């Protein structure tokens, strides 16, 4: 166990916040609510800032590495919606870029890797890059978190926690192998089947890289850590258990030892998309499991089979419906979540870029009023 510094927000400001209490299994007076992808394209102030600051040579990943911009974008949805958490504005691909991978975010497409990792030789070349070199490269991320923490202290009563996040090794490998977004992740799943040793070396390396990114955010002040496995849903349970879950656990292990002044560890959250068939293997000794919109929270909990907090899972598609329909869907989610030891309200996946921000603000108010 490694004690976080005395002045870490978990020790000074956020330890009794509804979010941290719920992750640790309490039911605070109001159900905490935040939205995956709350910082970003659905906000006019974000689009305005990007238009003002983007240059010909600055893509989205470069913006993530400008501390002033990353912290400002992180704070925007907290100011606007009054959500119970900030999530650091960055991207799951940032640590790969810092580790020397030539990756860009193509607007409207997603991550594009210039030289995909297709063969065991490609894997061997990649993993020869020692992830320890990230420790200096991560400095802009650390500075961005520090500025965010200072900014959060100025909003409301100053107790809003920051969530640190990272991509799970499988989702990172899915981009590294295919070189671009893919529907069924055939290339990555083929490498796993054809060359399991190379696959395991690749995902262990990715776990080290992404775990260091996650740890840096927590060390600088994030009060919880979420691992995103956005593409895990393409896997059969057996393959997930054998060739994916161990690497995800390694990534989480990079922050598992960090404790606050009460001796409690930093809350860990694991989220997968389309992972309904995988829930029995997704509690990697975490505090909360994020559930997508496909499986009701109570059903997911039965499959997870352990005593965890659930997070989710309003269908993002409902955000475009009339308000009465949204309210009914909120009630439905809250009822299903009431069987869990605790519930953190969220969407079942990220905020769609076309979402009316007013709707998100109203949802925060409605969840708080329940
Ligand atoms: C798979 C994944 C990625 N990135 C992420 C995931 C896991 C979560 C998920 O499944 O949605 C995680 C992520 N990406 C971003 C955040 C920031 C914080 C937040 O959630 O508010 C987070 C947590 C910013 C972003 N990351 C990205 C944007 C949009 C780019 C822009 O604003 O120009 C933002 C705000 C780009 C991105 N980055 C990625 C994709 C698929 C895209 C979308 C490409 C597009 O449609 O333009 C990879």
Ligand 1 center from residue 90 Cα (angstroms): 8
Is 84 flagged in the annotation as binding? no
Does the pLDDT value for residue 34 go beyond 90? Answer: yes
Mean pLDDT of 251-277: 97
- Measured between alpha carbons, how far is 271 from 290 in angstroms, rounded to an integer? 4
Is 39 flagged in the annotation as binding? yes
Does the pLDDT value for residue 62 go beyond 80? Answer: yes
Mean pLDDT of 259-286: 97
Is 41 flagged in the annotation as binding? yes
3-state secondary structure the chain: CEECCCCCHHHHCCCCCHHHHHHCCCCCCCCCECCCCCCCCCCHHHHHHHHHHCCCCCCHHHHHCCHHHHHHHHHHHHHHHCCCCEECCCCCCHHHHHCCCCEEEECCCEEEECCCCCCHHHHHHHHCCCHHHHHHHCHHHHHHHHHHHHHHCCCCCCCCCEEEEEECHHHHHHHHHHCCCCCCCHHHHHHHHHCHHHHHHHHHHHHHHHHHHHHHHHHHCCCEEEEEECCHHHCCHHHHHHHCHHHHHHHHHHHHCEECCCCCECCEEEEECCCHHHHHHCCCCCCEEECCCCCCHHHHHHHHCCCCEEEEEECHHHHHCCHHHHHHHHHHHHHHHCCCCCEEEEECCCCCCCCCHHHHHHHHHHHHHC
Active site residue 50: yes
Give the torsion through C-alpha atoms of 126, 129, 131, 135, to 10 deg: -140
Active site residue 37: yes
Boundaries of domain holding 187:
2-369
pLDDT at 41: 84
Contact between 151 and 220 under an 8 Å Cβ cutoff? The reply is: no
Q: Which of 21, 46, 91, 279 is catalytic?
A: 91
Cα-flanking dihedrals φ and ψ of residue 134, to 5°?
-60, -25
Q: Which of 52-66, 94-108, 112-126, 324-338 has the lowest mean pLDDT?
A: 52-66
Does the pLDDT value for residue 59 go beyond 90? Answer: no
pLDDT at 347: 98
Q: Is 294 in the pocket of ligand 1 (CB under 6 A)?
A: no
Q: Is 84 in the pocket of ligand 1 (CB under 6 A)?
A: no
CA distances from 352 to 38, 321, 361 (A): 9, 13, 15
More confident residue, 156 or 59: 156
Ligand 1 center from residue 158 Cα (angstroms): 27
Mean pLDDT of 184-195: 98
pLDDT at 53: 87
Active site residue 229: no
Specify the number of domains making up the chain. Answer: 1
- Measured between alpha carbons, how far is 206 from 116 in angstroms, rounded to an integer? 14
Mean pLDDT of 4-18: 98
Mean pLDDT of 333-353: 97
Active site residue 91: yes
Q: Is 38 in the pocket of ligand 1 (CB under 6 A)?
A: yes
Contact between 168 and 159 under an 8 Å Cβ cutoff? The reply is: no
Active site residue 241: no
- Measured between alpha carbons, how far is 223 from 10 in angstroms, rounded to an integer? 6
**pLDDT 10s digits, 200-259:** 999 999 999 999 999 999 999 999 999 999 999 999 999 999 999 999 999 999 999 999
Does the pLDDT value for residue 294 go beyond 80? Answer: yes
Calculate what percentage of the chain has a pLDDT beyond 70: 100
Q: Is 198 in the pocket of ligand 1 (CB under 6 A)?
A: no
Q: Is 214 in the pocket of ligand 1 (CB under 6 A)?
A: no
Query: What CATH number has the domain bearing residue 365?
Result: 3.20.20.210
């Amino acid at each position: 166990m490694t004690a976080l510094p005395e002045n870490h927000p978990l020790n000074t400001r956020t330890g009794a916040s509804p979010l941290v209490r719920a992750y640790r299994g309490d039911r605070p007076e109001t159900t905490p609510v935040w939205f995956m992808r709350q910082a970003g394209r659905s906000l006019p102030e974000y689009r305005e800032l990007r238009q003002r600051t983007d240059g010909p040579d600055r893509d989205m990943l470069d913006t993530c590495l400008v501390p002033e911009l990353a912290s400002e974008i992180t704070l925007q949805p907290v100011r606007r919606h009054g959500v119970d958490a900030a999530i650091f504005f960055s991207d799951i691909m940032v640590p790969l870029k810092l580790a020397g991978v030539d990756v860009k975010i193509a607007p409207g497409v997603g991550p594009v890797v210039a030289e995909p990792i297709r063969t065991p030789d490609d894997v061997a070349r990649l993993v020869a890059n020692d992830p320890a070199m990230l420790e200096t490269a991560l400095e802009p991320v650390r500075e961005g978190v520090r500025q965010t923490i200072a900014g959060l202290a100025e909003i409301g009563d100053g107790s809003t926690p920051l969530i640190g996040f990272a991509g799970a090794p499988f989702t990172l490998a899915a981009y590294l192998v295919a070189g671009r977004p893919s529907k069924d992740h055939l290339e990555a799943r083929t490498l796993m089947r054809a060359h399991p040793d190379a696959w395991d070396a690749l995902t262990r390396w990715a776990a080290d890289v992404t775990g260091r990114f996650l740890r840096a955010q927590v060390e600088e002040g994030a009060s919880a850590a979420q691992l995103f496995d956005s593409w895990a849903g393409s896997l059969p349970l057996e393959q997930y258990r054998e060739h994916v879950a161990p690497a995800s656990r390694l990534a989480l292990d990079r922050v598992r030892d960090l404790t606050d002044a009460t001796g409690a560890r930093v809350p860990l959250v694991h989220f997968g998309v389309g992972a309904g068939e995988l829930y029995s293997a997704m509690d990697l000794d975490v505090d909360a499991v994020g559930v997508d919109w496909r499986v009701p929270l109570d059903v997911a909990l039965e499959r997870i089979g352990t005593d965890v907090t659930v997070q989710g899972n309003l269908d993002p598609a409902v955000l475009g419906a009339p308000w009465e329909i949204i309210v009914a869907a909120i009630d439905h989610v809250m009822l299903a979540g009431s069987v869990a030891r605790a519930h953190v309200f969220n969407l079942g996946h990220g905020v769609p870029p076309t979402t009316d921000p007013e709707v998100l603000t109203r949802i925060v108010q409605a969840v708080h009023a329940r």
